[in-house]
Amino acid sequence: MLLGAIADDFTGATDLCSMLVRGGMRTVQLIGVPGPDDVPPDADAVVVALKSRTAPVGQAVSGSLAALEWLRKAGARQFFFKYCSTFDSTDEGNIGPIADALIAALGCGFALACPAFPTNARTVYQGHLFVGGTLLNESGMEHHPLTPMKDANLVRVLSRQTDGTVGLVPFSTVEQGAVAIRRTLTGLKEQGRRYAIVDAVSDSHLMAIGEAAEHHALITGGSGVAMGLPANFRRAGLLNETADPSVLPAIGGYAAVVAGSCSRATLMQLGYARDHAPVFEIDLMANPDPAALAASALTWVEGKLGDTPVVIAASAPPEKVAAVQARFGRDAAGALIEEAVARIAAGLVDRGVRRMVVAGGETSGAAVARLGVRSLRIGPEIDPGVPWTHAEGSGPAVRLALKSGNFGATDFFLKAFQTMGH
């Protein structure tokens, strides 16, 4: 194992895995912290997927440290803390507290932070995070039901989450390449900074940042900054050229989509899907019983399953999300939806679904937990950051695509099955 990574949600983990596979690394995603006797998979990179993005801070930190300890014992040479490309967090965390704990455990004293993913229109300029041409806090993320992002200045955002200090590697330095970036990172560390937000507006910037971080014990960021890491291992003679690492076992079965994300991208994808596939919408306001919601959805799918996906959605626009949270409370509303989605995913597999897209990080976490999935072998990308995976665990093998709410083109739900139907 060359790279050991810890991701704060399940879709973010597959996003990172997809980036590493694209770079030629055989990559496996593990669901939750492995047990002490679990044998590390035969892979160049292993990503431990946690559900820590919105967990209580103490729980998020302890789970991340447990994952780090397992990866260290498994022999990983470098470590990566993956969070969302929109830096999803609150002033209390969890990005800062988790990163603080990992830095302390590794004794490295410093880490860069770069959530940029230009292919998906996430860029960082002068420390400010943009979604397309819009500042993060004006992109719709300010309405996120769990982690509303009201400040685009990542130096300020991260500073509120840590007792360390945060510096910046600006665009003018990043433009000069890996040597200049490395020099500036070293200087910030010597000044006593704990973190450096690093600007990036293109893939070439990400490649240079990855090269500059070749000897860093810990890297933090979105999946984009991992783009340059495989080349580091290859230059060091540690990564061999292998057959296509994205090839997955063939699988048949029915097709389905389960969506819980309320992001703009997912809402647009659902709008497109309504014109091309049968769609069932869950209404928590009408019935707050997860078992009943799942039962109604599973009754609806009878006779509709086939190669064309059925779509079951718990997604809603911001005003409806606000109404649901006002009635049930933010955490309770989220828990109700996750329980309903988990029951639906399990019911679909019981009915022969073997190819499934799950949209939303919290939704994906709930679904894979209920399905008993323990590992995902990463396959080819459907859209940037969203690969098909081969999922194995306590139940039948299933092909899953765990989609971050913000990712994917408008036709993603249909294209996924056209791209790799079997």
Residue 124 belongs to domain with CATH number: 3.40.50.10840
Strand order in the sheet with 134-135: 122-125, 128-131, 134-135
Residue 240: inside a domain: no
Residue 247: inside a domain: no
Domain match, 179 and 113 both: yes
Q: Are 287 and 386 in contact (CB under 8 A)?
A: no
Of the three residues 235, 270, 301, the one that is the final residue of a domain is 235
Pairing of strands 134-135, 122-125: unpaired
State the pLDDT at residue 262. 84
**pLDDT > 80? residue 242:** no
Task: Return the half-sphere exposure (C-beta side, CA atoms, 13 A cut-off) of residue 176.
Answer: 10
Residue 263, domain extent = 254-419
22-72 residue pLDDT tens: 999 999 999 999 998 899 999 999 999 999 999 999 999 999 999 999 999
81-93 residue pLDDT tens: 999 999 999 999 9
Report the domain count for the chain.
Answer: 2
Give the separation between CA 180 and CA 210, rounded to whole angstroms: 13
State the pLDDT at residue 382. 92
Domain match, 60 and 178 both: yes
Give the separation between CA 176 and CA 208, rounded to whole angstroms: 9
Q: Are 282 and 260 in contact (CB under 8 A)?
A: no
Domain match, 135 and 46 both: yes
State the pLDDT at residue 73. 96
Residue 58: inside a domain: yes
8-state DSSP, 263: S
Q: pLDDT band at 183, cuts 50/70/90?
A: very high
Q: Are 338 and 294 in contact (CB under 8 A)?
A: no
Residue 242: inside a domain: no
393, containing H or E segment: strand 386-393
Distance from the Cα of residue 280 to its chain's centroid: 25
279-297 residue pLDDT tens: 999 988 888 899 999 999 9
Backbone angles phi, psi at 121, to 5 degrees: 65, 30
319-365 residue pLDDT tens: 888 888 899 888 888 889 899 999 999 999 999 999 999 998 888 88
DSSP class per residue in 185-221:
HHHHHHTT-SEEEE-B-SHHHHHHHHHHTTT-SEEEE
DSSP class per residue in 143-199:
G-SSS-----BHHHHHHTT-SS-EEEE-HHHHTT-HHHHHHHHHHHHHTT-SEEEE-
Give the separation between CA 85 and CA 117, rounded to whole angstroms: 6
Nearest-5° angle of CA 356, CA 362, CA 366? 60
Domain match, 176 and 51 both: yes
Residue 62: inside a domain: yes
| Average model confidence (pLDDT) across the chain | 93
Backbone angles phi, psi at 254, to 5 degrees: -70, 165
AA letter at 333:
A
Of the three residues 176, 204, 235, the one that is the final residue of a domain is 235
- In this prediction, residues 223-229 reach a mean pLDDT of 95
Structure tokens at 193: 């900074």
Q: Are 249 and 391 in contact (CB under 8 A)?
A: no
Domain match, 223 and 194 both: yes
72-131 residue pLDDT tens: 999 999 999 999 999 999 999 999 999 999 999 999 999 999 999 999 899 999 999 999
Higher pLDDT among residues 422 and 273, named by residue: 273
Domain match, 309 and 361 both: yes
Domain match, 218 and 258 both: no
**pLDDT > 80? residue 419:** no
Q: pLDDT band at 421, cuts 50/70/90?
A: very low
Q: Are 10 and 402 in contact (CB under 8 A)?
A: yes
Q: pLDDT band at 420, cuts 50/70/90?
A: low
Which CATH number goes with the domain that contains 370? 3.40.980.20
Q: pLDDT band at 404, cuts 50/70/90?
A: confident
- In this prediction, residues 379-403 reach a mean pLDDT of 89
State the pLDDT at residue 118. 95
Residue 249: inside a domain: no
State the pLDDT at residue 422. 38
Q: Are 84 and 12 in contact (CB under 8 A)?
A: yes
> Which residues, 6 or more positions from 367, have their beta carbon under 8 angstroms from its beta carbon?
258, 341, 342, 345, 358
- In this prediction, residues 248-274 reach a mean pLDDT of 91
Give the separation between CA 53 and CA 50, rounded to whole angstroms: 8
